[in-house]
Amino acid sequence: SYELAQPPSVSVSPGQTASITCSGDKLGDKYAFWYQQKTGQSPVLVIYEDNKRPSGIPERFSGSNSGNTATLTISGTQAMDEADYYCQTWDSSTVIFGGGTKLTVL
């Protein structure tokens, strides 16, 4: 079965750039989606179709997807961005989630 791998944790200083990776076999041939989940809240879609931002998502959130790796980039990271981030794709008509990455803004 298809799997997506994410680092369990990433740390970043306020104002710096955070990059969260998501790896899967030929992931670049599929669409990647990213969700932000703050403690005690439901997930929120922040990137769809590799690099598109839903309305209301700040411009500092961007995405890319090539080869075996999709990347979520947060430029000028703010304290409010501290959350768990999940990548997601589709394989054989089923939804696959990565294990999630805890972003800490120190």
Partner 1 sequence: QVQLVQSGAEVRKPGASVKVSCKTFGYTFSNYYLHWVRQAPGQGLEWMGIINPRSGSTTYAQKFQGRVTMTRDTSTSTVYMELTNLRSEDTAVYHCARGGRVAATENALDVWGQGTVVTVSS
Do 24 and 39 meet the contact criterion of CB atoms below 8 Å apart? no
| Residue 28 sits in the site that holds partner 1 (CB under 8 A) | no
> For every residue of 91-102, which 3-state class applies, written as one string?
ECCEEEECCCEE
| Residue 5 sits in the site that holds partner 1 (CB under 8 A) | no
* Helices and strands, counts by H and E, the chain: 0, 9
Interface residue with partner 1, options 24, 33, 63, 71 (CB under 8 A): 33
Closer CB to partner 1, residue 44 or residue 60? Answer: 44
The Cβ of residue 37 has, within 10 Å, a number of other Cβ atoms equal to 15
Closer CB to partner 1, residue 16 or residue 62? Answer: 62
Residue ranges that bind partner 1, judged by CB under 8 A: 1, 31, 33, 35, 37, 42-45, 48-49, 54, 84, 86, 88, 90, 93-100
